[in-house]
Amino acid sequence: MNTSPRKQKCIVTFARSWIALAATRCLGKQGIYVITGDTDRCAAANFSRYSKEQYVYPDPGTDPDGFVERLVELCRSHAAADTDLVLMPLYTDAYPIICRQDRFDGLAKLALPPKNPYELVRNKATLAARCAQLGIRVPVTVAAGSAEEFRERARAFAYPAFVKVPTSSGAVGTRKVSSYDEAVR
């Protein structure tokens, strides 16, 4: 009877972020074997003493299929009967994986929400609209389907205002603007 403990491994993406660095440290301190990766080797979490391996993957924004394929290959190389393997994508790296979750079946557990709830919160405009439907107060949100529509609607904004990219993480792509000209720029 084999009584050796199961190996615990975690693959972390978006290693350039401070959150990836904090996750790598936290997991590593718990004795978990952490593998960190990004589109470039020069990423903060890759330099942590708790990152046992580093990998580079294609840009998920421009090559989502290549990105997912690289992660599938990585998971295959670490999957084993005696190993608990978790894939923990961070930020926008999560979306291509959420869309292709079936590719990881039997290889790794995914630290991700299901696709439908993620789709709801991924787009700031749809999230604001859903909050309004549910009676949840949010700042006034105006969504535009095109650059022309944005220019037209921006004339009616009360400034200062915040302009946001519809699909990003946190404050990425958010700018405070003081005038129509600044908003359009």
* Length of the chain in terms of residues written: 185
- To the nearest whole percent, how much of the chain has pLDDT over 70? 95
Q: What pTM did the predictor assign?
A: 0.77
Whole-angstrom distance, CA of residue 49 vs CA of residue 34: 10
Whole-angstrom distance, CA of residue 68 vs CA of residue 48: 24
Token readout for 51 is: 């990152």
Cβ contacts of 63 within 8 Å, gap of 6 or more? none
Q: In 3D, which of 105, 52, 41 has the Cα closest to residue 79?
A: 105
Report pLDDT for 29. Answer: 98
pLDDT tens by residue, 162-182 = 888 777 666 667 889 999 999
Q: In 3D, which of 38, 102, 101 has the Cα closest to residue 67?
A: 38
pLDDT tens by residue, 39-97 = 999 999 999 999 999 999 999 999 999 999 999 999 999 999 999 999 999 988 999 99
Token readout for 60 is: 């998920």
Token readout for 126 is: 């749809």
Token readout for 56 is: 């580079």
**SS3 annotation, the chain:** CCCCCCEEEEEECCCCCHHHHHHHHHHHHCCCEEEEEECCCCCHHHHCCCEEEEEECCCCCCCHHHHHHHHHHHHHHHCCCCEEEEEECCHHHHHHHHHCHHHHCCCCEECCCCHHHHHHHHEHHHHHHHHHHHCCCCCCCCCCCCHHHHHHHHCCCCCCEEEECCECCCCCCEEEECCHHHHHC
pLDDT tens by residue, 112-159 = 988 888 888 887 888 888 899 999 998 888 888 888 988 898 888 889
